[in-house]
Amino acid sequence: MRGSGNIFRIVFNAVVFLLLETAALVMLSHNGRMQGIWISRGVHAVQAFLWGGAEDIRDYFSLRKQNRELAEENFRLRNTIREYGYLTGVNLQTDSVPEVIGGFRYILADAVKISNNKQHNYLIIDKGSEDGVEERSGIIAPNGVIGIVDAVGKHFSYARSFKNSGMVVSARIGRDGPVGEIMWDGMTPDGAVLREIPHHIPVHQGDTVYTSGYSSIFPPDIPMGITGEASVVNGSTYNIDVRLFADFGSVRYVTVVNNIDNREISVLETGEVGDEE
């Protein structure tokens, strides 16, 4: 009991001391302009120190996450390079890596602004026409489709995010499964719906959804998400819930993909084929 009384007196004295110091500072700040300025500067300095420390902590944990993602991406890239060298006979240790792979040209970019809290979300990247970006270029990340370029400036480009109620991407279940259309569900940050999967084909939860390659915008086999529950629509097709891999709230580094045959494909699709000289 005696020890408890001593602790109580220490705490009480500390509280009284802090209250008196606070009162003294308030009185001092009101008694002189210079004193008020000095106190205000001291308070702002303490706030800046605390905010800076909190920001450093957030950056530290963010860097850990980014480093982990980079390590995983490097691992996948090394495996892809080895597979590419095996299939093509190119020695990537001595031969130059081709600028175009599989009919697509790849351009690294930073997302300098991104919208995530609307029905029609967008992003702006720091690459434009002088870097080779074109309208209708696709934007991807290591873990999914991010968007499609709508407008191009010299050094920046504007793109619709995949989290846009008007954007649909051709996708398939697994490497060689059924193909349908995937779009954002419009409600959850990481939710999408894969539509028009034939009812007679069995589907399972936990399968990976990839881009199909049937689009002229995105290359095939980009992982997009994991299948969830399926519901029958009109007795003939499935709508399947998909949990997206991409975390749109932390997107920073992206890749622009240009289909080098996109113009020719567009001409064929529109039927505007003429004789060339």
Asked if residue 252 belongs to a domain, the reply is yes
Asked if residue 39 belongs to a domain, the reply is no
The 10s digit of each residue's pLDDT in 106-160 is 888 989 999 888 888 999 999 999 999 999 999 998 889 999 999 999 999 999 9
Q: Would you call 145 helix, strand, or coil by DSSP?
A: strand
CATH label of the domain that carries residue 210: 2.40.10.340
Asked if residue 218 belongs to a domain, the reply is yes
Q: How far is CA 59 from the centre of its chain?
A: 17
Q: What is the pLDDT of residue 168?
A: 94
Asked if residue 62 belongs to a domain, the reply is no
Q: Would you call 87 helix, strand, or coil by DSSP?
A: helix
Q: What is the pLDDT of residue 27?
A: 59
The 10s digit of each residue's pLDDT in 186-231 is 999 899 999 999 988 888 899 999 999 888 899 898 999 999 999 9
Domain span including residue 277: 102-277
Is-contact 138 256, C-beta < 8 A?
yes
* 266 compared with 273, residue with greater pLDDT: 266
Q: Which residues contact 116 (CB under 8 A, 6 or more apart)?
A: 161, 163, 189, 248, 249
Q: Six-digit token pair at 166? A: 């008007």
Of 136, 145, 86, the residue nearest 258 (C-alpha): 136
Asked if residue 162 belongs to a domain, the reply is yes
Instruction: Categorize the per-residue pLDDT at 274 as very low, low, confident or very high, splitting at 50, 70 and 90.
Output: very low
Of 32, 56, 54, 52, the residue nearest 44 (C-alpha): 52
pTM confidence score = 0.64
Asked if residue 194 belongs to a domain, the reply is yes
Cα separation values, 116 from 68, 131, 135, 140, Å? 23, 26, 22, 16
The 10s digit of each residue's pLDDT in 3-60 is 555 666 776 677 766 666 666 656 555 555 555 555 555 555 554 555 545 555 555 5
Helices 33-88, 2-31: axis angle to 10 degrees equals 110
Write phi, then psi, for 161 (nearest 5 degrees): -75, 155
Is-contact 139 125, C-beta < 8 A?
yes
Which residues face 172 on adjacent strands? 179, 210
Instruction: Categorize the per-residue pLDDT at 239 as very low, low, confident or very high, splitting at 50, 70 and 90.
Output: very high
Q: Which residues contact 105 (CB under 8 A, 6 or more apart)?
A: 99, 132, 257, 258, 260
Q: Is the pLDDT of residue 84 over 70?
A: no
The 10s digit of each residue's pLDDT in 173-197 is 998 899 999 999 999 989 999 999 9
Asked if residue 82 belongs to a domain, the reply is no
* 94 compared with 235, residue with greater pLDDT: 235
Q: Six-digit token pair at 251? A: 């997107």
Asked if residue 262 belongs to a domain, the reply is yes
> pLDDT above 90 covers what percent of the chain?
35
Instruction: Report how many domains make up the chain.
Output: 1
Q: Would you call 9 helix, strand, or coil by DSSP?
A: helix
Q: What is the pLDDT of residue 196?
A: 92
Distance separating the N- and C-terminal Cα atoms of the chain: 103
